[in-house]
Amino acid sequence: MSYYEHHIFFCLNQRENGEACCADQGAKAAFDHCKGAVKAAGIAGPGGVRVNKAGCLDRCAGGPVAVVYPEGVWYTYVDHDDIDEIVTSHLQGGRVVERLLLAPDIGR
């Protein structure tokens, strides 16, 4: 058994050269919302979920992006409702949110 059941990493990368980046698409607000939702659900911490900041995850064209491990499930999202669905369905219920999956061919 691992220390956490799930890690969710949010790309918070900011590009200064004008290229697409998650930071310009509300990634920090989504990260903050997810941390709060995970705590409110009582699943934060050892044996549960760790919400992490990440630098560039190299999937910029699909941004904003988050990835859940250990499954390696990549999500894109639009708003806090999407984040709530990831928390409730995937992090709590173990069900992947199909409609939010990032297409496997999306890269930088």
pLDDT digits (tens, 9 = 90+) for 35-52: 999 999 999 999 999 999
Residue 1 has pLDDT above 70, yes or no: no
What pTM was estimated for this model as a whole? 0.94
Phi, psi of 64 (to 5 degrees): -75, 150
Distance from chain centroid for Cα 2: 19
Q: Tell me if the domain spanning 6-100 has CATH number 3.40.30.10.
A: yes
Q: pLDDT tens digits, residue range 63-91?
A: 899 999 999 999 999 999 999 999 999 99
R_g (Cα) of the chain, nearest Å? 13
Say which residues have a Cβ less than 8 Å from residue 13's Cβ, sequence separation at least 6: 21, 22, 23, 54, 55, 56, 57, 60
